[in-house]
Amino acid sequence: MKQVIATTNAPGAIGPYSQAIDAGQFIFVSGQIPVNPATGEIPEGITAQARQSMANVKAVLEAAGLTMDNVVKTTVFLADMSLFVPMNEVYAEAFSAPFPARSAVAVKELPKQVLLEVEVIAAKN
């Protein structure tokens, strides 16, 4: 059985999907783009955008009663692989060892022309 996870502390869905789904042992968090949920604004630059995306992920996890330490897998979508190093620096601030498994890929385009999107899978302990 699945349960919807939703919070106003992260951007609302821009389509027919949920911010996250609780599927029992795992929480599947939809891709979080760097939109400030309070203002609707998108910060400038990859570092600020990465921090906002991570804050949005954290907010959704908190709504599920979890933390970033529960994350077991991430996928980072980048507008360009040249953004990998600065994204990785912010990523290292957001997670601690043992780090989650991760995929990072460059895509042709992201919603609202943002520079990255981050989705995660978290396990309940």
CATH T-level topology, domain 3-123? 60s Ribosomal Protein L30; Chain: A; (3.30.1330)
Where along the chain do its domains lie? 3-123
pLDDT value for 2: 93
- Each residue's pLDDT, cut to its tens digit, for the chain (125 residues) gives 799 999 999 999 878 999 999 999 999 999 999 999 999 999 999 999 999 999 999 999 999 999 999 999 999 999 999 999 999 999 999 999 999 999 999 999 999 999 999 999 999 98
pLDDT value for 72: 98
Q: State how far the Cα of 60 lies from the Cα of 49, in Å rounded to an integer.
A: 17
Helices (H), 34-111: 46-63, 84-94
pLDDT value for 61: 98
C-alpha distance across the termini of the chain, in Å = 18
Cα angle value 29/117/10 (rounded, 5°): 55
pLDDT value for 53: 98
Tell me the pTM. Answer: 0.96
Single-letter amino acid, residue 45 = G
Contacts of residue 7, defined as CB under 8 A and 6 or more positions apart, other chains included, come to 19, 59, 60, 62, 63
Q: At what angle do helices 46-63 and 84-94 cross, to 10 degrees?
A: 30
